[in-house]
Amino acid sequence: MALTYEGKVGDDLIAILTEIKTEFNRIADGTGWRDISTLLGNGWTLDANGFIRLVRRGRRATIVFAGLNGSAATGSTIIPTASLAGFRPAVDARVTLWSSATPYLGFVSASSGGGGLTSAARVAHGSQQQEISWEVNPAQTWPTVLPGSAVA
Give the count of domains, the chain.
2
Residues 12, 79 within the same domain: no
Q: Report pLDDT for 123.
A: 74
Same domain, 48 and 60: yes
Q: Would the pTM count as exceeding 0.95?
A: no
Query: Does residue 106 share a domain with residue 44?
Result: yes
Residues 61 and 116 in one domain: yes
pLDDT digits (tens), the chain, 152 positions:
565 656 665 666 777 766 665 555 555 568 999 999 999 999 999 999 999 999 999 899 999 999 888 889 999 999 998 889 999 999 999 988 776 666 566 788 999 988 899 988 777 777 778 899 999 998 888 888 999 999 98
Parent domain of 7: 1-30
Amino acid 3: pLDDT? 57
> Are residues 110 and 45 part of one domain?
yes
Question: What is the pLDDT at residue 113?
Answer: 85
Domain shared by 42 and 25, yes or no: no
Q: Classify 84 as helix, strand or coil.
A: helix
Same domain for 96 and 26?
A: no
Task: Report, in angstroms and rounded to the nearest whole number, the Rg of the chain calculated over CA atoms.
Answer: 18
Task: Say if residue 8 is in the same domain as residue 77.
Answer: no
Write down the pLDDT at residue 95: 87
**Do 62 and 18 belong together in one domain?**
no
Quick one: 20 and 95 in the same domain? no
Residues 96 and 133 grouped into a single domain: yes
- pLDDT given at position 78: 93
Q: What is the CATH number of the domain that holds 129?
A: 2.60.40
Looking at the fold, whether 22 and 91 belong to one and the same domain comes out as no
